[in-house]
Amino acid sequence: MSQIEEDGQVLYPAIVQDALSHQVMMLAYVNDEALALTRETGWAHFYSRSRRQLWRKGESSGRSIRVRQVLPDCDNDTFLYVSEIEAPVCHRDTWGCFAEGEAWTPDPLALLDSIVRARLQGEPDPESYTQRLFGDDMGRIAQKVGEEAVEVAIESVKMGQDRQNAAALTGEVVDLLYHLSILLVRSGITLQNVSDELMRRHQGRGSVEESRTNPA
């Protein structure tokens, strides 16, 4: 059994996993109350064995963890918190408790998405290109995505002729991903929606390529 008895109650290991990268971020213990609060509120709660009390992750550091799913293992004595990771979760100020220093970084697309959302939720800033573009109509945002896609195509053709052009192509791809992230946020589509659709196609068709060429 994975659970332990302490302070007159049963405690279970809870593993925090990044929903996008599937990286294991940390492990802590939970009691029944912590599990119930996590499921009820959508925010990670644990039981501190050192302080002997319930605690909500981020209540002092501000680095809360939003939990999308609480999944029990086959014996119902260990739990997986499938979570949105937008800030370092370890007290050492690393993204995960299993990383040495900065050996692991968050999923770059998830980080880009969180940065864009943070800009949009922040105070109005006339110098913020993200805020200005987001305030335009959808047609303008779609136009920028199209322009960046064309730039990617042009640089990819150049790279076919000159392998030294990789840096320029990389830069254009980053610009495309940035503008695409704004389009997704404006459309109310999350990276998890995109990830779920990729997995659905992969599981249903055997590969993303097959689902793309055989959409029916």
49 lies in the same domain as 117? no
Angstrom distance (rounded) from CA 35 to CA 12: 9
Three-state SS for 68?
Answer: strand
Domain that holds residue 117: 108-213
Angstrom distance (rounded) from CA 211 to CA 200: 10
Q: What is Dmax (Cα atoms) for the chain?
A: 71
198 lies in a domain? yes
Q: Find the CATH number of the domain harbouring 25.
A: 3.10.20.810
209 lies in the same domain as 113? yes
Nearest one of 55, 61, 49, 65 to 17, comparing CA atoms:
65
Alpha carbons within 13 A on the beta-carbon side of 142: 4
Work out how many domains the chain is built from and give that number. Answer: 2
Tell me which of 68, 84, 100 is where a domain ends: 84
125 lies in the same domain as 35? no
Q: Which residues pair with 16 in a beta bridge?
A: 26, 81
pLDDT recorded at residue 147? 96
Please report, in tens digits, the pLDDT of each residue of the chain (216 residues total). 577 787 778 999 999 998 877 789 999 999 999 999 999 999 999 999 888 899 999 888 888 999 999 999 999 999 999 998 878 888 888 888 886 545 556 677 877 887 788 788 777 888 889 999 988 899 999 999 999 999 999 998 887 666 667 888 999 999 999 999 999 999 999 887 888 888 888 787 555 455 555 544
pLDDT recorded at residue 213? 52
Pairing of strands 53-56, 45-48: antiparallel
Helix (H) or strand (E) run with residue 84 in it: strand 79-84
101 lies in a domain? no
20 lies in a domain? yes
123 lies in a domain? yes
Model-wide pTM > 0.75: no
117 lies in the same domain as 204? yes
121 lies in the same domain as 72? no
